[in-house]
Structure formats: C-alpha cells, structure tokens
Structure 1
Amino acid sequence: MNILIFGATGMVGQAVLRECLLDPGVTRVVALGRSPARETPMGRLPEAAKLDDLIHTDMYDYSAIAERLSGFDACFFCLGVSSAGMSEAAYTRVTHDLTLAAATALAQRNPQMVFTYVSGRSTDSSERGPIMWARVKGRTENALLKLPFKAAYMFRPGVIEPLDGIKPKSKVYRAAYVLLMPYLSLVKFLWPQAALTTTRQVGKAMIAVARTRVSKQILEVADINAL
C-alpha cells in the first residue's frame, strides 16, 4: 500500500507513521506537512527508507502540489488542535475547513482511497449539541462521509497512552502525560473496559481499515482496540 499521512509529527501521527514503516505490506509512506516527519519527537524512525516528506505550507490550497497527490491507497488524517480559547468560527476554519480542503483534493484524484480521520470521543454527529468542539467535529465527520472515497472511517479515540518513545508535540500535553501515566496503568488494571487505548493500537487499527473494509464507519475506543 501507498500511504499519505497528515500530521505525522503529532502524537497520533507519530503512531501511525511508526506502524506504517514497520508493516511489510506498506511500500511507501508520504508525510505531508509544514515540517519534516523525520523531526518527530519520537526520534529515530524504523525503516525510514520508505518515508518521503512532502513539505507544504498552505493547508487550504493544494493546487501547487496537485500532481503529487495521486496514487495513494489510504490517507491517515491526524491533524488537530485544541479548541481551548477559540471561537466557533476560528475552530471551524482550522478543523472543518482545513480537513475538507485536503479531503476534497484527494477524493478528486484517488477514487479508490480509504480516508481515515482522527476525530474525538463524544463527537456530536447531530451537529446541534451544546459543546462547540463536538459540533464542529461532527460537522466535519458528516461532510467527510459524503465524499466519493472507496471508504471513510472516523476514529474517535479517548485517552491515548503513548508507547514506543512517542510523545505529544505540545510541551503542555507532554507534561500532562507525565503526570497521568501512573494513573493510566491503574485505570487499565482496575477497569479494563475503560475508554483507553494506546498509540500502538491506534496505528495498527488505521492500517487494518485501510487493508480490509469493516462494517462501521464511526469507530469508538472499543472498536479501535478490537481492530
């Protein structure tokens, strides 16, 4: 498979990048972003010869690189920002509008592509709930599911435990995870059905839906872990 990854330097992006590089069924990985995926906080990448960086700064316009966006079997869209301190209009632009700009460009050139979007637990598919970020994520999911891809999957992870040297890109999130890690282990031991997953499980699950079609398009934590 030829795989395209957005957000390969973020925590989830690092996870799926690592699993793609390790998977013998993945022949080529292109990481599209503003900075090289080889500079992930994870450090040294396995099987890095498979990886090509495609540096692109305008995430709302892909006309300049249109000829390089064809021939992919799957796209793992792992870009995302926190809604903290943002208005709904601003959050919509960097979540819904940015994602749809990329997805629309890819759908035009890759009708056999499987598109996987990292959303969030408690996303609001009705688009009418009281929580702003959940409405915007729900609107984004619904729009993606209407595009003419071979298949599209919405991943809704809960709390993600970082493994394999993977770290959040944000220093604030890194500090938070340092504080939370002992409690995550305790929660997993006491409540194995809790809404927890790992970076490794998320990465492997994304490859699984790219390889084999599954019945659900919206995948919650339990679905991700089962895959």
Structure 2
Amino acid sequence: MGQPFMKGVLRECLRDEAVSEVVVVGRSKTGVGHPKLREIVHADLAELMARPGMQEELSGYDACFFCLGVSSAGMTEEAYHRVTYELTLTVARALSAWNPDLTFAYVSGQGTDSSERGRSMWARVKGKTENHLLRLPVDAYMFRPGYIQPMHGITSKTPLYRAVYAVAAPLYPLLRRLVPNQVTSTERLGRAMIAVAAAGAPHRLLGTREINNAAVLHTAVLP
C-alpha cells in the first residue's frame, strides 16, 4: 500500500483549510513542499518512536492517518506480522499516550478477517491489528477500502502497480457507476479520513461505501 495512498491523503490535508499543520513520519521524503508540511524521516520507525524528544515532536495533534503498509506477496507470516501488526501498534501506543484526544485512522483493506482465524495470512494479521487498535484508549477507525485509484498524477514506485493503475484510470468513471461500493480514489480516501477526524463516524469499521459517503459529505468544506 504505502506511498501512493499516503500522498493522496497528504494532498487532501494540505488543501483543506481546516487542517493547520501536517507532520509526515516516514522512511523517505515525500518530495512535496508546503508551508503546512513538516517531515520526519527515519529508516526505522519503531526505533524512531523510542528516541528521546519524540514525545515533544509528536504531541498536540488531533489525528493520525496511518497509511503505511506492504504487500504480503512473498513474505513469511512472521515478517508480515512484524511490519503490519508490531510497527502499527508501536506507533499507535506511543501516539495515544502522547495525544489523549487522538483520532487514529488506519488504512486496512477489504476482506480483513476480524476473527483472526481465517485461511488468508494477510487478512488474519490485518484483523489482529484492527482488533488491538480498537482496544487502545483513542478514537480508532478502520478504513477497509476495496480498489483505490490514485488521482492527480499520484502513482506507485512499483512497476506492476503502476501499470495496473495506468490501465484502470480510464475505466475508473465507469467502475464508479457499475460498482460504486467496490471502488474509491486517493482523493476520496483523504477527504473521508479528514471528515472522520473532524466529526467521527457511526461505526468503527468503514468499508468502501462508508468511505465514499464520508468523502462526499466533506467535499463542501474544501476550497
């Protein structure tokens, strides 16, 4: 997952007049310049969260939009668990301690297994991650989109994904009409996350339908 969706969410945050400051924490620079944007770059995010001074750096914020993720293809369950579960919970626990009123929005995926007992490895690990996030003392929301189309020139560094997005881009308007509850975009995902951070949502798990509905409701406040 990772960079294309993070950049899409970042774009909407920087465009939204209600968002006064954005801090991006990641392994590499975004390449985006904006007066509202500050970046913290470190190769090991778990180690970064334990560094002295990080509480001061990351306190006083209203929301965390957690878009980091990797494909499970070719990964052992142990390695996927380390990135998907352990890293996410390390960040969430620290931020929840430093920001008592935090909203934590986690980009999960359609098909996530809340029972943690299914045959699909990635779905079990995602389900465990969601379940443990929901037990933290924060307003946590799980975003489970289906297909996400990158918009506004945003693309992936991975050649295969880049090719898929290029082929799907002309079909996206048609897909929105034919299967509106199965597809969304980086633009809608970003707007939905801002909307939920600002006003909450009726349920903690948001599928594609709920993501698109939240995005539409938030559109009116964007310039």
The residue that corresponds to 1:3 in the other structure is none
| Correspondence for 2:79 among 86, 90, 93 | 90
Q: 1:56 and 1:73 mapped to 2: Cα distance?
A: 22
The residue that corresponds to 1:215 in the other structure is 202
The residue that corresponds to 2:18 in the other structure is 25
Q: Structure 1 length normalisation: TM-score?
A: 0.88
Deviation at 1:192, TM superposition (A): 4.1
SS of structure 2 residue aligned to 1:130: coil
Question: Structure 1, unaligned stretches of length 5 or more?
Answer: 1-6
Across the aligned residues of Structure 1 and Structure 2, the Cα RMSD in angstroms comes to 1.4
Alignment pair present for 1:153 and 2:146 = no
Which one-letter code corresponds to 2:155 in the other structure? K
Which one-letter code corresponds to 2:74 in the other structure? G
The residue that corresponds to 1:4 in the other structure is none
**Number of paired residues?**
210
Identity of aligned residues (%): 50
Q: Structure 2 length normalisation: TM-score?
A: 0.90
The residue that corresponds to 1:127 in the other structure is 116
CA displacement 1:136-173 (0-9 Å, x = unmatched): 00000000001111x11000011111111111232221
The residue that corresponds to 1:55 in the other structure is 41
Which one-letter code corresponds to 1:100 in the other structure? L
Q: 1:152 and 1:162 mapped to 2: Cα distance?
A: 24
Deviation at 1:95, TM superposition (A): 0.4
Question: Structure 2, unaligned stretches of length 5 or more?
Answer: 215-223
Q: 1:194 and 1:33 mapped to 2: Cα distance?
A: 30
Moved more, 49-58 or 164-173: 164-173
Alignment pair present for 1:224 and 2:211 = yes
Q: Which runs of 4+ in 1 moved over 3 A?
A: 182-186
1:1-227 to structure 2, matched below 5 A, reads 10-37=3-30, 39=31, 48-61=34-47, 62-64=49-51, 65-149=54-138, 151-189=139-177, 191-227=178-214
SS of structure 1 residue aligned to 2:123: helix
Contact 1:159-1:196 within 8 A present in 2 as well? yes
SS of structure 1 residue aligned to 2:119: coil
Deviation at 1:22, TM superposition (A): 0.5
